[in-house]
Amino acid sequence: MYGQLPATEFDALGCRTRLVVTDQRRLDRATRLLRDELRAIDETCSRFRADSELSLLHGRTPISALLAEAVSVALRAARLTDGDLDPTVGQAMTHIGYDRDFAEIPANGPTARIRVAPVPGWRCIRLRDRMLDIPAGVHLDLGATAKALAVDRAVRRLGAALDCGVLVAVGGDLAVTGPAPGNGWSIRVQDTPDGTGGPQQTVSIRSGGLATSSTAARRWVRGERVLHHILDPRTGVPAHSRWRTVSVAADNCVDANIAATTALIRSTAAPEWLRRGGLPARFVDTTGQIRTTPGWPA
């Protein structure tokens, strides 16, 4: 996908991570900087680590600058989407069985009782500077935006430190910075996590971010019920969507991620919503049919 450009891959934040640079001499330093940035996000924002700052939150407490940024990004996402992307889904995630790293969740299991109830709602969270106030019993899940934030922070850091083009991709979230290769960064947009099935397309970008959200990834079965990680805050259970995959391009990875994930939740209303927002997007429905918004390449 990236031709002969210097690149490396490793696992981080529960996803396959890819780093590509346009100068071989910068790859080792870029890798160290990227690993440092992703480690900081994991130690701060993971709900799967008992020692993370997020896991240790309770009541009204001062928090680190990094966690304050991550919570601020999550609250902004909730505000922009009228609560469709809500960080108070933490307890609901646990109820459906997503209570550990996805690799540790059995793909199949016996029928489980799923609790259907609205999540507490993002408006109950108070953040002033670095003072966070969370009501008792409310658990945050920053996974919807923290990974994209990590990508944006990483490309900013690498862009400031290295005199070359950089691409960082963590799972379905990516961003680029610096001088692009001659024909731009070639990105394969695919419908399945392993790229073995479903419609694929290669697009080219020169700046900004691109995010793909999918109900075909991070899914598991309990009895006859198929579960996935994109929750509808109104019900606290996996969203029923016309789309199985949505890809969106934006000025940065966070905005692309917010749009792509929200589009899955908004289902049939999503294409018009993204069209009004001027965001190029590609939708794959549950039958494999493709729809795009203006600006997405044919």
Nearest to 18 by CA among 7, 27, 29, 32: 7
Interacting residues of 181 by C-beta distance below 8 A, sequence separation 6+:
3, 5, 22, 165
What is the four-CA torsion angle of 32, 34, 37, 42, rounded to 10 degrees? -100
The answer to whether residues 66 and 54 touch, using CB atoms and an 8 Å cutoff, is no
By DSSP bridging, strand 243-250 and strand 237-238 are: unpaired
Tokens representing 141 are 């899940």
> Does the CA dihedral 269-230-15-170 come out positive or negative?
positive
Per-residue pLDDT of the chain (298 residues; tens, 9 = 90+): 566 899 999 999 999 999 999 999 999 999 999 999 999 999 999 999 999 999 999 889 999 999 999 999 999 999 999 999 999 999 999 999 998 888 898 989 898 888 889 999 999 999 999 999 999 999 999 988 999 999 999 999 999 999 999 999 999 999 999 999 998 999 999 876 555 567 889 999 999 999 999 998 888 999 888 899 999 999 999 999 999 999 999 999 999 999 999 999 999 999 999 999 999 999 999 999 999 999 999 8
What confidence score (pLDDT) does residue 231 get? 96
Cα separation, 169 vs 18, in Å, equals 5
Q: What angle do CA 204, 210, 212 make, to 5 degrees?
A: 115
Class of the CATH domain delimited by 7-292: alpha beta
What's the confidence (pLDDT) of residue 112? 83
pTM for the full model?
Answer: 0.94
What 3-state DSSP class applies to 248?
strand
Domain residue extents for the chain? 7-292
6: which residues sit within 8 A by CB, 6+ positions away? 20, 21, 22, 23, 24, 26, 27
